[in-house]
Homo-oligomer: A and B are copies of this chain.
Amino acid sequence: MPVPGPLPFEQALRTARAAVEEFLDGNFARFDGQVAEAMAYAVKGGKGLRGFLVIESARVNGVALEGAVAVAAAIECIHAYSLVHDDLPCMDDDDLRRGQPTVHRRWDEATAVLAGDALQALAFELVADSGLPAEATVDLIRNLARASGIEGMVGGQAKDIAAETAETPLTLDEIIDLQAGKTGALITWSASAGAWMAGENPSFLEDYGDALGLAFQIWDDVLDVEGDAALVGKAVGKDADAGKATFVSLLGLDEAKRRAEQLVTEACDALSIYGDDGECLRQAARFVISRQN
């Protein structure tokens, strides 16, 4: 089946999110019990940006949605698990996520720990079951495991927790390093997943993902200062209240925004080899620094 050209971003995001939700609903229907219910709850209601990046990076590499949706669902499971665990009382202690009670508030902490654990396992199962060529599947899994683990997302979260009790606030370089793990690694993986699927060189999409991930995190800090809690869907002003160093506290609001814009330009420039076919990914980059949540 021929792979179509790019859709406008908003439409592509909706299409990707609907495909991922339908795919995951089919999976969750196989499972019973409260933890399974909490898993399904945790993956609902997100923007679906990571899953979209997987599906759109697959499309620009000639891989149709049908082949990419399991991999897109996998990254949404990893992302959801990380939020469930980060929200726990022993971590960020959040009551609200995506405008709904967090999993440990809706059920209990044990359910939240187990739902997160099972979502992580499910992510790897979905990639293993994706039906992609075995070599591509192994590449995706190796890179996903690394991006999720101690050298990636978990490592970044560990640095974030450590910073809360540190005597001196983090420097800009330390925050960039922390966020490259905590948020950046999964975004870069998502953006380059399509190249791994197709056995193509992932470096252009990795550059795009690196710039996009950092812009994303700077914008999160902007929203923590300027955002409306009702739109953001979680508490705002927490970082400032906690005296935590953020991109905004270190750079000021205007300079933080300017850096985010510059990174979005870099992200778009990295897509030049894809020509017009990269337009939807370029729009996604611009969306990241215009979003309200």
Q: Is B114 a contact partner of A128 (Cβ separation < 8 A)?
A: no
> How far is the CB of A79 from the nearest CB of chain B, in Å?
13
> How far is the CB of A173 from the nearest CB of chain B, in Å?
16
CA distance A88 to B177 in the complex (A): 29
State which of A10-18, A144-152, A275-283 sits at the interface with chain B: A144-152
Q: Is B110 a contact partner of A122 (Cβ separation < 8 A)?
A: no
CA distance A146 to B91 in the complex (A): 28
Number of copies: 2
CA distance A125 to B150 in the complex (A): 11
Asked if A230 CB lies within 8 Å of chain B CBs, one says no
For the complex, count residues of A whose C-beta is within 8 A of B: 51
State which of A47-55, A129-137, A216-224 sits at the interface with chain B: A129-137
For A161, the closest partner residue in chain B by CB is: B110
Asked if A266 CB lies within 8 Å of chain B CBs, one says no
Residues of B with C-beta under 8 A to A105 = none
Q: Is A125 a contact partner of B110 (Cβ separation < 8 A)?
A: no
